[in-house]
Structure 1
Amino acid sequence: MRMTWAVAAALLSFAATAAHAQLPAAARREAWPVTGLQQPAQIIVDRWGISHIYAGSVRDAFFLQGYNAARDRLWQIDLWRKRGLGRLSASFGPAYVAQDRAARLLLYRGDMAREWAAYAPGARDAVTAWVDGVDAYVAEVRAGAKPLPIEFRLTASRPETWAPDDILRIRSHTLVGNVTSEVARAQVVCAGGVEADRLRRKIEPTSHKLAVPEGLNPCDIPADVLQDYILGTEPVSFEPLAGRKTAALDPRAQLAQRIDATSGEGSNNWTISGARTASGRPILANDPHRAVGVPSLRYIVHMEAPGLSIEGAGEPALPGVSLGHNADVAFGLTIFPIDQEDLYVYEINPAGDAYRYKGGWEPMKVVREAIEVKGEAPREVELRYTRHGPVLKIDPARRRAFALRTVWNEPGAEGYFQSSRLWRAKSWADFEGGRDAWGTPPLNLVYADRTGVIGWSAAGLTPVRPNWDGLMPVPGDGRYEWAGFLPGAELPWLKNPAKGWFATANAMNLPKGYPDEQRKVSFEWSDPSRITRIEEVLAAEPKGTIAQSTALQTDTVSAESRRLRALLRADMGQTPPAEQGSNLAKAIKLLEAWNGDERTDSAPAAIYEVWVSGYLGKGAAAMYAPRPARDLIGSGSLDAVIGFLESGEAGPRRKLLLLATLGAAVQELEQRLGPDMSTWTWGRLHRAEFQNPAGVLADRETAARMAVGPVAVPGSASTPRAATYRPELFTQVAGASVRMVLDVGQWDNSMVVNTPGQSGDPANPHYRDLFAPWAAGDYVPLRYTRPAVEAAAETVLDLTPKR
Structure 2
Amino acid sequence: MATRPGDRDLTLPGLTAPAEIRIDPWGVAHIRAGTRLDAFRVQGFNAARDRLWQLDLWRKRGLGRLAGDFGPGYLAQDRAARLFLYRGDMAAEWAAYGHPETRAIVEAFVAGLNAFVTLTEAEPAWLPPEFVRMGTRPERWRAEDVVRIRSHALVRNALSEVARARVAAEGALALDSVRKVLAPPHGLRVPEGLDPAEIPADVLDAVRLGTAGVGFTAERLAARRTEAWRWCKVTEHGEVVTGPLPSPPAPASAPPEGSNNWAVGPGRTATGRPILASDPHRAYGLPSLRYVVHLTAPGLDVIGAGEPAIPGISIGHNGRAAFSLTIAPIDQEDLCVYETHPDDPDLYRYGGGWERMRRVGEAIPVRGGPDETVSLAFTRHGPVIREDRAARRAFALRSVWSEPGSAAYLASLAYLDADTPEAFGAALRHWSAPSVNQVYADVNGRIAWFMAGKAPRRTEGDGLMPVPGDGAYEWDGFHPAEDLPRAIDPARGFVATANEMNLPPDYPAQERRLGFEWLEPWRAARIGTVLAAQPCHTLADSMALQGDDLSLPAARLARLVGGLGLQGAAAGLLANFDGRLHEDSPAAALVEVWWMHHLRPALLRHLAPAASLRALLAPGDPEALLDLLAAPRPPLDAATRDRLLAETLAAAERDCRARLGDDSTAWAWGRLHHALFAHPLSGLAEVGRDVGPLPVGGSGATVMNTTYRPDSFRLTVGASFRMVVDVGGWDASVFVNAPGQSGDPRSPHYDDLAGTWARRGYVPLLFTREAVDAASAQIIRLRPAP
TM-score, normalization by structure 1:
0.93
- Gaps of at least 5 residues in structure 1 are 1-18
Contact 1:614 1:635 in 2 (8 A): no
Residues 25-44 of structure 1 mapped to structure 2, 5 A cutoff: 28-44=6-22
Q: Once structures 1 and 2 are overlaid, which stretch shifts more, 62-71 or 365-374?
A: 365-374
Structure having the higher helix fraction is 1
Match of 1:135 among 114, 122, 137: 114
- How far apart, CA to CA, are the structure 2 residues paired with 1:617 and 1:356? 44
Task: State the partner residue of 2:619.
Answer: 635
Contact 1:267 1:505 in 2 (8 A): yes
Task: State the partner residue of 2:36.
Answer: 58
SS of the residue 2:558 aligns to? helix
Residues 23-102 of structure 1 mapped to structure 2, 5 A cutoff: 28-102=6-80
For the pair 1:414 / 2:407, whether they are aligned, the reply is: yes
Displacement of 1:189 after TM fit? 2.0
Displacement of 1:564 after TM fit? 2.5
For the pair 1:218 / 2:210, whether they are aligned, the reply is: no
- How far apart, CA to CA, are the structure 2 residues paired with 1:662 and 1:436? 51
- How far apart, CA to CA, are the structure 2 residues paired with 1:27 and 1:685? 41
Task: State the partner residue of 1:303.
Answer: 295
Residues 719-798 of structure 1 mapped to structure 2, 5 A cutoff: 719-798=702-781
Letter in 1 for 2:361: R
Residues 613-628 of structure 1 mapped to structure 2, 5 A cutoff: 613-625=596-608, 627=610, 628=612
Residues 271-670 of structure 1 mapped to structure 2, 5 A cutoff: 271-350=263-342, 351-570=344-563, 572=564, 574-575=565-566, 580=567, 585-625=568-608, 627=610, 628-649=612-633, 650-652=636-638, 653-670=640-657
Contact 1:448 1:744 in 2 (8 A): yes
SS of the residue 2:507 aligns to? coil
Displacement of 1:560 after TM fit? 2.1
Letter in 2 for 1:255: A
Contact 2:12 2:112 in 1 (8 A): no
Q: Once structures 1 and 2 are overlaid, which stretch shifts more, 552-561 or 330-339?
A: 552-561
Letter in 2 for 1:412: G
- How far apart, CA to CA, are the structure 2 residues paired with 1:46 and 1:27? 13
- How far apart, CA to CA, are the structure 2 residues paired with 1:728 and 1:660? 21
Letter in 1 for 2:316: G
Letter in 1 for 2:297: A
Displacement of 1:740 after TM fit? 0.5
Letter in 2 for 1:663: A
- How far apart, CA to CA, are the structure 2 residues paired with 1:282 and 1:27? 39
- How far apart, CA to CA, are the structure 1 residues paired with 2:417 and 2:425? 13
Match of 1:248 among 243, 251, 263: 243
CA 1:344–1:446: 2 relative to 1, 3 Å: same
Displacement of 1:727 after TM fit? 0.4
Contact 1:184 1:255 in 2 (8 A): no
Alignment length (residue pairs): 763
- How far apart, CA to CA, are the structure 2 residues paired with 1:502 and 1:434? 19
1:188-218 per-residue CA deviation (whole Å, 9 max, x = no partner) reads 2212421121111111112x11221112111
Displacement of 1:622 after TM fit? 1.1
Displacement of 1:249 after TM fit? 4.3
Contact 1:140 1:146 in 2 (8 A): no
Task: State the partner residue of 1:174.
Answer: 153
For the pair 1:269 / 2:261, whether they are aligned, the reply is: yes
SS of the residue 2:641 aligns to? helix
Contact 1:339 1:462 in 2 (8 A): yes
Contact 1:106 1:172 in 2 (8 A): yes
SS of the residue 1:372 aligns to? strand
- How far apart, CA to CA, are the structure 2 residues paired with 1:146 and 1:675? 53
TM-score, normalization by structure 2:
0.95
- How far apart, CA to CA, are the structure 2 residues paired with 1:33 and 1:474? 56
Displacement of 1:483 after TM fit? 1.1
Letter in 2 for 1:685: L
- How far apart, CA to CA, are the structure 1 residues paired with 2:648 and 2:414? 51
Match of 1:672 among 645, 656, 659: 659
Match of 2:166 among 159, 164, 187: 187
Displacement of 1:354 after TM fit? 1.1
Contact 2:4 2:779 in 1 (8 A): no
Displacement of 1:802 after TM fit? 2.5
1:485-505 per-residue CA deviation (whole Å, 9 max, x = no partner) reads 111111110001111001100
Percentage of matched positions with identical amino acids: 50
- How far apart, CA to CA, are the structure 2 residues paired with 1:436 and 1:127? 20
1:623-654 per-residue CA deviation (whole Å, 9 max, x = no partner) reads 11251411221221211211233343121221
Displacement of 1:242 after TM fit? 5.2
- How far apart, CA to CA, are the structure 1 residues paired with 2:761 and 2:660? 29
- Gaps of at least 5 residues in structure 2 are 224-230, 232-240
Displacement of 1:669 after TM fit? 1.6
CA 1:323–1:249: 2 relative to 1, 3 Å: farther
Task: State the partner residue of 1:13.
Answer: none
Q: Once structures 1 and 2 are overlaid, which stretch shifts more, 626-635 or 69-78?
A: 626-635
SS of the residue 1:87 aligns to? coil
Displacement of 1:616 after TM fit? 2.5
CA 1:74–1:405: 2 relative to 1, 3 Å: same
For the pair 1:685 / 2:690, whether they are aligned, the reply is: no
Letter in 2 for 1:598: L
1:413-435 per-residue CA deviation (whole Å, 9 max, x = no partner) reads 11011101111112112111122
- How far apart, CA to CA, are the structure 1 residues paired with 2:57 and 2:242? 24
Contact 2:720 2:738 in 1 (8 A): yes
* C-alpha RMSD of matched pairs (Å): 1.6
Task: State the partner residue of 2:228.
Answer: none
Displacement of 1:479 after TM fit? 0.9
CA 1:513–1:626: 2 relative to 1, 3 Å: farther
Contact 2:581 2:697 in 1 (8 A): yes
Letter in 2 for 1:435: L
Task: State the partner residue of 1:6.
Answer: none
- How far apart, CA to CA, are the structure 2 residues paired with 1:556 and 1:224? 37
Contact 2:438 2:452 in 1 (8 A): yes
Displacement of 1:243 after TM fit? 4.8
Contact 1:241 1:697 in 2 (8 A): no
Letter in 1 for 2:618: G
SS of the residue 1:195 aligns to? helix
CA 1:217–1:661: 2 relative to 1, 3 Å: farther
Task: State the partner residue of 2:206.
Answer: 228
1:142-188 per-residue CA deviation (whole Å, 9 max, x = no partner) reads 22355211111222110000000110000001111111111111112
Contact 2:256 2:519 in 1 (8 A): no
Contact 1:186 1:472 in 2 (8 A): yes
Displacement of 1:592 after TM fit? 3.4
Displacement of 1:679 after TM fit? 1.9
Contact 1:507 1:525 in 2 (8 A): yes
Contact 1:199 1:644 in 2 (8 A): no
Displacement of 1:251 after TM fit? 6.1
1:16-69 per-residue CA deviation (whole Å, 9 max, x = no partner) reads xxx6xxx7x866532222233221111100000000000011111000000000
